Structure 1
Amino acid sequence: MEFRHLRCFLAVAEELHFARAAEKLHMEQSPLSRAIKELEEELCVQLFVRTSRCTRLTLAGKLFLEHVPRIFTVVEQARESVKAAANGFHGQLRIALSDGITPSRLPALLARCREEDPEIEIRLFDVPLAQQIKGLHDDLYDAGFSMAEDAGDGILVEPVWDDELMVAVPARHPVLSHKRIPLEEVLRYPLALGDPAFCEGHARQVDRFLRQQVQEPLIAQRVATFDLMMALVSAGLALGLAGAAHIASSREPNIVGRPLAGTPPMLTTYLLRRDGEPSQALARFIERLQSNGTSQGEALNDEK
């Protein structure tokens, strides 16, 4: 089995059309079909059912598809690890990011890691939550950040920081008459909220908060990214509910971040890692993460 066989399989599995897959790979359809046939003969299974109307994966093909992307990821990580060693790094931490985690905490943490552990290269991977959890099990990532509090068996989940849930408001909107906006006022207007398919943990925490209210929210749109949420808010099409850091970091004009009235609801970010003894590099990373969270929390309390 060669890498060309795997590339051909992956292209056909993604396109489910041999002609489109051949075009994607910049090759003729005949050698593509031959490569798939060679792969099927080596595996002694049929990977695709091909008719004049459609191409679909067999059960064996679907199972094979679960493994092939991981093979390419492992090879790419090995390549990057070798490059890192050539550039003077003596180790690597692979950190996955999911759920649109609060961006403000990471730069200071990564800068401190680079200062105190310059020989450890940190690589970041922005992936869906399900891919992060699978990657942790498969040893593709050393740890990850998410806003989901449950990752299933074999994964340790530890809260690492909180971020206040605030309202993103278009400039000159009527609710800006409130310095702290009552939630019942917010719920009078259409909302842009995170899509659970793309930011599962964040959406779950916000939805849990909203379910505590008597009044049903009017959801204008579920969005895959916070950039899109802020674009809708800036255009005056909706109010947004997001962490204070996401609102503060928005590049969209005409957006005002306002706290909610009463006890401020908090969004929690979690560190995920495999259950077991962490490597020395990961243990030092976790120690810095915990001390950074403590120092930033103390700073916020001092400001208040």
Structure 2
Amino acid sequence: MELRHLRCFLAVAEELHFARAAERLHVDQSPLSRTIKELEEELGTLLFARTTRSTRLTRAGRLFLERVPYVFTALDQARASVQDAAAGYHSQLRIALSDGISPERLSRLMALCRQDEPDVAIRFFEVPLAQQLKGLHEDLYDLGFAQSADVDDGILAVPAWSEPLRVAVPARHPLLAHKTIPLEEVLRYPLVMGDPEYCEGYCRQVDRILRSVDQVPLVTEQVKSLNLMMALVAAGYALGLAGASQIQTCRESGIVARPLDRKAVLTTWLLRPDAEAPESLERFVERVASLDAERRLTT
């Protein structure tokens, strides 16, 4: 089995269309089909069920798809380790990020790390929460940040920081008559929310807040990124819900952040394996705690 087999499998599994996968890989469809057939023959099972109208993964294909991305993650990490060593770094921290973590908090943390331990390389991996948890179990990541404490056995979840949840409102919207907006009023308007697959922790926290009133939210769009959420809000398409610092640092003009009429916060957790950790990781965790303590003293 070669890497080209795995790359071709991933393209077809994600596109579920051989012609589109071939176009994505810049190859003809016939060689792509032969490569998939070679892979299936080596594995001794079909990975795709094909008809004249559709292509779908078999059960074996779905199981294979769960594992193949980790091959490329491990390969990328091996390449990065060699590059870091050649650049003079003595060690490396692999950090997974889920739920669109606040760039303001993260940048302050990274600046402190670079100041205190410039010989430690830090690598980031933006992944869904489920993939982060698997990676922590399988030593693909040293730690992670997510907006969820619903973790598996063997993973520790420690609060890293919290920030107020704000309503992102288009300029000149009638809700701006309120200095603090009643949640019932927010739910009278369409909302753009995070995609549960990519923003799982965020969605759980926001859903708990929305369920505190007896109204069903009108979610018109689910997005993978805060930037798209803010673009839709600025265009007057819907209201958004995000952390105060996230709205403050967004690039879109024409957006006003308003607090809700009740206590509503988004909490970010640091996730790590429940095992003895190297000293560099322990020092990193201490920095996270020190930054949160500093914030509490100044607010």
| Same fold (TM > 0.5) | yes
AA aligned opposite 2:3: F
- Mapped to 1, the partners of 2:183 and 2:294 lie a distance apart of 31
Q: Would you say the 8 A contact 2:127–2:198 is kept in 1?
A: no
Q: Which residue of 1 aligns with 2:284?
A: 285
AA aligned opposite 2:279: Q
1:76 correspondence with 2:72: no
1:266 correspondence with 2:265: yes
Q: 5 Å matches for 1:1-304?
A: 1-262=1-262, 264-300=263-299
Residue 179 of structure 1: SS of its match in structure 2? coil
AA aligned opposite 1:153: D
Range with bigger deviation, 167-176 or 73-82: 167-176
- Mapped to 2, the partners of 1:220 and 1:32 lie a distance apart of 38
Q: Would you say the 8 A contact 1:48–1:56 is kept in 2?
A: yes
- Mapped to 2, the partners of 1:96 and 1:107 lie a distance apart of 15
Q: Would you say the 8 A contact 1:192–1:220 is kept in 2?
A: yes
- Mapped to 2, the partners of 1:180 and 1:50 lie a distance apart of 55
Taking structure 1 as reference, are residues 78 and 168 closer, same or farther at Cα in structure 2, changes over 3 Å only? same
Q: Quote the offset at 1:195 in angstroms.
A: 2.9
Q: Would you say the 8 A contact 1:102–1:163 is kept in 2?
A: no
Residue 207 of structure 2: SS of its match in structure 1? helix
TM superposition score normalised by structure 1: 0.89
Q: Quote the offset at 1:120 in angstroms.
A: 0.8
TM superposition score normalised by structure 2: 0.90
Q: Quote the offset at 1:136 in angstroms.
A: 1.3
Q: How many residues align?
A: 299
Identical aligned residues as a percent: 63
Residue 271 of structure 1: SS of its match in structure 2? strand
- Mapped to 1, the partners of 2:50 and 2:216 lie a distance apart of 48
**Where do 5+ consecutive residues of structure 1 fail to align?**
none
Q: Would you say the 8 A contact 2:195–2:224 is kept in 1?
A: yes
Q: Quote the offset at 1:52 in angstroms.
A: 4.8
Residue 240 of structure 1: SS of its match in structure 2? strand
Larger Rg: 1
Q: Would you say the 8 A contact 1:161–1:268 is kept in 2?
A: yes
Residue 295 of structure 1: SS of its match in structure 2? helix
Taking structure 1 as reference, are residues 16 and 188 closer, same or farther at Cα in structure 2, changes over 3 Å only? closer
Residue 14 of structure 1: SS of its match in structure 2? helix
**Where do 5+ consecutive residues of structure 2 fail to align?**
none
Q: Quote the offset at 1:130 in angstroms.
A: 1.4
Q: Quote the offset at 1:58 in angstroms.
A: 3.4
- Mapped to 1, the partners of 2:251 and 2:270 lie a distance apart of 27
AA aligned opposite 1:241: L
Taking structure 1 as reference, are residues 245 and 48 closer, same or farther at Cα in structure 2, changes over 3 Å only? same
CA offsets per residue over residues 149-193 of structure 1, 9 Å max, x none?
Answer: 202222211111111011222222233233222333333333333
Taking structure 1 as reference, are residues 235 and 28 closer, same or farther at Cα in structure 2, changes over 3 Å only? closer
AA aligned opposite 2:235: A
